[in-house]
Chains A and B, each alone.
Chain A
Amino acid sequence: MMLTRFLLEKIDRTGWIFLVLLALAAVMVPVLNLAVPPGSPFHVSNTAVSLWGKYMTYALLALAVDLVWGYCGILSLGHGAFFALGGYAMGMYLMRQIGPRGVYSHPILPDFMVFLNWKELPLTWWGFSSFPYALFMVALVPGLLAFVFGWFAFRSRVTGVYLSIITQALTYALMLAFFRNDMGFGGNNGLTDFKDILGFNIQSQTTRAVLFSLSVVALMIGYLLARAIVTSKAGKILIAVRDAEARTRFLGYRVEHFKLFVWTVSAVMAGIAGALYVPQVGIINPSEFSPANSIETIVWVAVGGRGTLVGAALGAGIVNFAKSWFTGAFPQGWLFALGGLFIVVTLFLPKGILGTFTDWWKRRGETREPPAGKAVGQPAE
């Protein structure tokens, strides 16, 4: 009861539209994919299901970034690290599920360990045969890393560009570490060749459709949670920190605690997004830590509308649709297009697509409705 109220109370119209559309997608896409025959114009293709499912996890990542950047002013250029860590945790579970079906047929060790001539499972891999444990790690590892990182960064009052740079350094350092074979996470090949998840064949279309729906549901829950946070009084404090950090301190708020809270929640959200991403794309490797990924996420949020949540998710979808079209049409041009898009948005749509649209909608409403003062004398409807 309390929780429902906490989550649903402050959803605005944009939010409801967003949630309803997502709920529809979660139900309809699998139906149109599985139950409608391929010849029909209503059929949703298998590739589309996988692609859209991937976008849903990107949207959740964008939401996580918007929570810290849009509402607390922390420009994270390292959220890809939390996403990748969540992904690795899921990947490790999926590797352990392969069991003796690997190329080397080792009952326990994943192929790459046999190849490296390892004799036993490293400690880091223990427990990952259990799904609940893996899920726990999906949240814990990014959350803990964010907590420790944030603890040091925020209490030393590292802010602005310096903070952005160290988040970038964080993801870069992790990328280098995960490239090393002796880290025990598959080196530059990463983790792949997954067979099944919870006993269901990961290649089967039903599993894929379910993963799609789960990603949509995760995005919905992520949105509800983020919205509840930003509309609470704590959310107002976050915005206060973003706009006038010193003032907030002098009012007696412990700014570093608020930052640490939202930063950690955001990292866990990113981790969950990564965990849903991996079974859908079938691979996780160190390139997911690449600094460019984190920067791309910032572009999604900026394009969609920073500080709007729904806009961030929308931006992730729009930019990635553009990307898949573009990389098909002009394979070399994507990075230029992305850079161009970012410049255009920052110069002409500083509030992003959603922010600009809501402003326009409001202004339209104001000019069409008679001013409140004049309406008083009119009879009630």
Chain B
Amino acid sequence: MLIDPMDTQLPAEPVKAIERPQIVTQSLLYLDGVSVSFDGFRAINNLSLIIAPGEMRAIIGPNGAGKTTMMDIITGKTKPDTGDVIFAGEVDLTRLDETAIANLGIGCKFQKPTVFESHTVEDNVDMAVKADRTVFGTLFQRRSAEIARRVDEILGIVRLGDHRKRLAGDLSHGQKQWLEIGMLLAQDPKLLLVDEPAAGMTDVETAATADLLKDIAKTHSVVVVEHDMGFIRELGVKVTCLHEGSVLAEGSLDQVSSDERVIEVYLGR
């Protein structure tokens, strides 16, 4: 049987029969007992994680710990073999595809910056702004004053106002990262997943990115994956350390970084 992604395009109805415990219904994102294997290799192993509404969380862990894979499970790119992934207390994300999950209000920035290189910076943001996303809707859509204002606003926030007419492909690596974050903002998601936003950035850019994310976190829930400990410290939020597909330690940065196992597998190298 083919699995039809189109069957799953509507947000799944909350299943009335299942009474979810309070811890589920009050969390924005709830992962429990999630596992996924690639050809027998367990990339995610019985992972549990809870993000509260409005929370910003930093995820650290050695290469191959499964950070990106965890993001992929939340965004619908990878389907978990077992476990629950529940959004906003009621939506089972494992039953939805990427498009449906994006439209629920989950945005993600890929580890490798991905923008539309042959479009202008402005058009990149324009496509991300919340608006009709159907074929016939976009076919006849014109850029409304409302959308134009929103695009300006976002370009201001990510400091790309002067580059709006340039092709996204001509931007520097750091600028692409920022553009992608801007597109994420334009979607106005409830939850932002940001994979290694500071990779390849100069120290100045990294600091600016931390400020930007802190700003965003005032009004959104954010999950950030980063290797740069200075950056994590700058954020000053709860930290989760992943290792071999499950949570090794969780708490404040000081708690986590003084954990012996964390030092052994990650920090002490």
Q: Is the CB of B127 within 8 A of A240?
A: yes
Q: Which of A182-190, A227-235, A275-283, A359-367 contacts B (4 or more CB under 8 A)?
A: A227-235
A–B pairs, 24, beta carbons within 8 Å:
A6-B140, A155-B4, A155-B6, A233-B139, A234-B135, A234-B139, A239-B116, A239-B118, A243-B117, A244-B116, A246-B77, A246-B110, A247-B110, A247-B116, A249-B98, A250-B98, A250-B108, A251-B102, A251-B127, A251-B187, A252-B133, A254-B133, A256-B6, A257-B135
Assembly CA distance A229 to B140 (angstroms) = 9
Known interface pairs A250-B98, A252-B99; A244-B107 also in contact (CB < 8 Å): no
Q: Which residue of B lies closest to A241 (CB)?
A: B116
Q: Is the CB of B127 within 8 A of A236?
A: yes
Assembly CA distance A258 to B183 (angstroms) = 20
> What residues of B have a CB within 8 angstroms of the CB of A156 in the complex?
2
Q: Which residue of B lies closest to A254 (CB)?
A: B99
B134 at the interface (CB under 8 A from A): yes
B48 at the interface (CB under 8 A from A): no
Within 8 A of A (CB), among B110-166: 110, 114-119, 123, 126-128, 133-136, 138-141, 143
Q: Is the CB of A247 within 8 A of B102?
A: no
Assembly CA distance A156 to B115 (angstroms) = 24
Known interface pairs A155-B6, A244-B115; A252-B138 also in contact (CB < 8 Å): no
Assembly CA distance A6 to B6 (angstroms) = 30
B75 at the interface (CB under 8 A from A): yes
From B6, B77, B117, B127, give the contact of A237 (CB < 8 A).
B127
Q: Is the CB of A254 within 8 A of B9?
A: yes
Known interface pairs A250-B102, A250-B107; A233-B127 also in contact (CB < 8 Å): yes
Within 8 A of B (CB), among A321-335: none
Within 8 A of B (CB), among A246-294: 246-247, 249-258, 261
Assembly CA distance A232 to B108 (angstroms) = 26
Assembly CA distance A252 to B134 (angstroms) = 10
Assembly CA distance A251 to B115 (angstroms) = 11
From B102, B110, B116, B136, give the contact of A252 (CB < 8 A).
B102
Q: Is the CB of A252 within 8 A of B187?
A: yes
> What residues of B have a CB within 8 angstroms of the CB of A258 in the complex?
135
> What residues of B have a CB within 8 angstroms of the CB of A246 in the complex?
77, 98, 110, 114
- Mask, A134-160, CB within 8 Å of B = 1, is 000000000000000000000111000
B69 at the interface (CB under 8 A from A): no
From B6, B108, B118, give the contact of A243 (CB < 8 A).
B118
> What residues of A have a CB within 8 angstroms of the CB of B128 in the complex?
251
- Mask, B48-84, CB within 8 Å of A = 1, is 0000000000000000000000000001010000000
A305 → chain B, closest Cβ, in Å? 14
Assembly CA distance A148 to B237 (angstroms) = 51
B103 at the interface (CB under 8 A from A): yes
Q: Which residue of B lies closest to A258 (CB)?
A: B135
A102 → chain B, closest Cβ, in Å? 46
> What residues of A have a CB within 8 angstroms of the CB of B115 in the complex?
244, 247
B265 → chain A, closest Cβ, in Å? 30
Assembly CA distance A244 to B127 (angstroms) = 13
> What residues of B have a CB within 8 angstroms of the CB of A236 in the complex?
119, 123, 126-127
Residue among A157, A243, A255 with the most chain B CB within 10 A? A243
> What residues of A have a CB within 8 angstroms of the CB of B107 in the complex?
250
B5 at the interface (CB under 8 A from A): yes
Known interface pairs A240-B116, A250-B108, A253-B133; A232-B139 also in contact (CB < 8 Å): yes
> What residues of B have a CB within 8 angstroms of the CB of A243 in the complex?
116-118
A155-B5, A250-B107, A253-B99 provided; 10 other pairs, C-beta below 8 A?
A155-B6, A234-B136, A236-B119, A236-B126, A240-B116, A244-B115, A249-B98, A252-B103, A252-B133, A256-B6
B33 → chain A, closest Cβ, in Å? 25
Q: Is the CB of A261 within 8 A of B135?
A: yes
Assembly CA distance A244 to B5 (angstroms) = 19
> What residues of A have a CB within 8 angstroms of the CB of B75 in the complex?
250
Assembly CA distance A145 to B107 (angstroms) = 36
Assembly CA distance A232 to B99 (angstroms) = 21
> What residues of B have a CB within 8 angstroms of the CB of A239 in the complex?
116, 118-119
Assembly CA distance A157 to B108 (angstroms) = 21
Known interface pairs A250-B98, A251-B183; A237-B110 also in contact (CB < 8 Å): no
B166 → chain A, closest Cβ, in Å? 15
